[in-house]
Structure 1
Amino acid sequence: MRRAGALALLALAGCAAPPPGGGGIVSLNPCADAMLVELVAPERIAAISHYSRDSGASSIPPEVARRFRTTSGTAEEVIALRPDLVVASSFTPPATRSAFARAGIDTLYLDMPSTIAASRQQVLELAQAVGAPAAGAAMAARIDALPPPPAGPPVPTLLWIGGNMVSGGGTLLDDMMARAGLGNAAADYGMRFTGELPIERIVARPPRVMLVPDGPGQDADSRAARLRARALEASRALEASGAHVMQAAFPRRLINCGGPVIPQAMKRLAEVRRSVEAGS
């Protein structure tokens, strides 16, 4: 309900313009975007990442992303906005970091958390940086409310991101799958982290469950649609082989980030686990 209320307020606010004369928060990190739109009032956000306008990279609804200015991420463009705070990725190039430092811009660099606990901590870190500790605590509480792992052995599951990419171990998605009672089948193919996996290897040794991105929707030319095409090809190959693999949709927007996305992703993963048990 809190998330729905936050999104409703954004819809009523209309397109959020950068504060006159500069100021506000500029985010260059799509996962920070997903947190910021729920942590602070829209008028405090001077710009979000251009990735949040890309359905293959965004974790926020497109109608919300369209209400904010975006940047291409160049130091010159960001500095011209004269923000109070820049939220960037730990992968930000050294030259860009130096430019922000020379301009005297406060910058928070966020890494890519690989566990639910680390993502929760990142929520609190960002909330503290933007002066919204109460909102951060509420977001963290929703993560704390996740149910414990179900009883029984984990169900071998392959999470297909798109293209030839599958989610491997040592990632946030891997931690969420384990929490939902779904064992990451990427290890069965010798994979430790997220990487490319040929369809032929999946057909030769199919998992019990394969999570695939949701359908292309109206934007058939989007990056997300192109990413889904390969996963759907794998689905057809498994069907043709006669392998008994449960295939379940896992929305692309739940793959990219943690924070407020975790409860939504865990809800879907729990639904998949229950479907497996019902079909056993």
Structure 2
Amino acid sequence: MIRGLLLAMGLLAAAPALAGPPQRIVSMNLCSDQWVLEFAAPERIAAVTWLARDPRMSFHAVRAAAVPVNHGRTEELLRLQPDLILAGSYTTRATVRLLRQAGIAVEELDVPSTLEEVAAQARRLGTLLGAPEAGERFAARIEALPAPAPHPLRVAVLRPGGSAAGRGTLLESLVAAAGHESLSAPGRTRLDLEMLLRERPDAIVTALDGDAPPAEATLWLQHPALRHATLRPPSVLPGSLWICAGPGNPEAVALLAALPSP
């Protein structure tokens, strides 16, 4: 069915080289949404994903409200007639393959795990989207983040479901950039109540706020054992600042650096 649609639209061809900055940009990944909304003018954005309008996950949710959205369906993306599509390295492989068979330029973004990699991705995307100066400015902003906090804390970052900021992740890199130590260990993907009581971190940070759906992490934070242990109430680090490598990361570092000392 999809191949027939491609033939009918005359799209089964080699991907053309872009003669200049792309004029009909489509993003099919939440994280590429953020870069597109950061660097491209609204009139050059054919669509971002519907997730880009969710402020719980998207740093640029307000900007996303002013541009069309897509749901990642191949036929839908083809009808947008994009000259560039941005996808993530985990985006559906079959869809990416079909889009390339249709002659559309598809760029895949990897998943940065350090701020140095975030800066490199900003430079790459700024150039690709026709805004190299903006990409360079953002990269320079990442590289000029303030010195780490003078009194480093042991921080337990509690993600939805109780998962932790594991070693080698961007979230741990953000904690380190703020001058703190993330309470995690190689191979550990979860924090539990017993570990929090045993390790007694200086600060607990959660991505959950009052509007978040019920999650195991929420229940832990309400457990009377934490109150009796006199652990500090958790601080909120909105997911929109760290779920993706991108524009929200400097603000995440600033919030983490501002955590009060015990």
Paired residue for 1:158? 156
Question: Deviations for 1:158-212, whole angstroms, at most 9, x for unmatched residues?
Answer: 111212222111011111111211101022xx545xx333334333433221002
Paired residue for 1:174? 172
**1:214 positional shift:** 5.1
Does 2:139 correspond to 1:136?
Answer: no
TM-score, with structure 1 as normaliser: 0.78
Q: Secondary structure at the match of 2:57?
A: coil
Distance in 1 of aligned mates of 2:199 and 2:112: 30
TM-score, with structure 2 as normaliser: 0.83
Paired residue for 1:11? none
Paired residue for 1:9? none
Q: Secondary structure at the match of 1:166?
A: coil
Contact 2:154-2:201 at 8 Å conserved across structures: yes
Question: Deviations for 1:46-86, whole angstroms, at most 9, x for unmatched residues?
Answer: 1011221334432223x322222111112221112110100
Paired residue for 2:53? 53
**Total equivalences in the alignment:** 240
Moved more, 203-212 or 134-143: 203-212
Paired residue for 2:43? 43
Root mean square deviation, CA, Å? 2.2
**1:246 positional shift:** 5.2
Provide closer, same or farther for how the CA distance between residues 94 and 35 of structure 1 changes in structure 2, counting only shifts above 3 A.
closer
Distance in 1 of aligned mates of 2:193 and 2:77: 42
Paired residue for 1:258? 245
Distance in 1 of aligned mates of 2:193 and 2:73: 38
Distance in 1 of aligned mates of 2:179 and 2:258: 11
Distance in 2 of aligned mates of 1:213 and 1:117: 23
2:181 alignment partner, one of 154, 169, 183? 183
> Structure 1 unaligned runs (5+)?
1-21
Contact 1:26-1:45 at 8 Å conserved across structures: yes
Contact 2:29-2:91 at 8 Å conserved across structures: no
Work out the percentage of aligned pairs sharing the same amino acid: 33
Does 2:242 correspond to 1:239?
Answer: no
Structure that is richer in helix per residue: 1
Contact 2:155-2:204 at 8 Å conserved across structures: yes
What does 1:78-89 align with in structure 2 at a 5 Å threshold?
78-89=77-88
**1:36 positional shift:** 1.7
Provide closer, same or farther for how the CA distance between residues 108 and 191 of structure 1 changes in structure 2, counting only shifts above 3 A.
same
Contact 2:24-2:84 at 8 Å conserved across structures: yes
Provide closer, same or farther for how the CA distance between residues 191 and 209 of structure 1 changes in structure 2, counting only shifts above 3 A.
farther
Distance in 1 of aligned mates of 2:145 and 2:191: 31
Paired residue for 1:6? none
> Structure 2 unaligned runs (5+)?
1-21
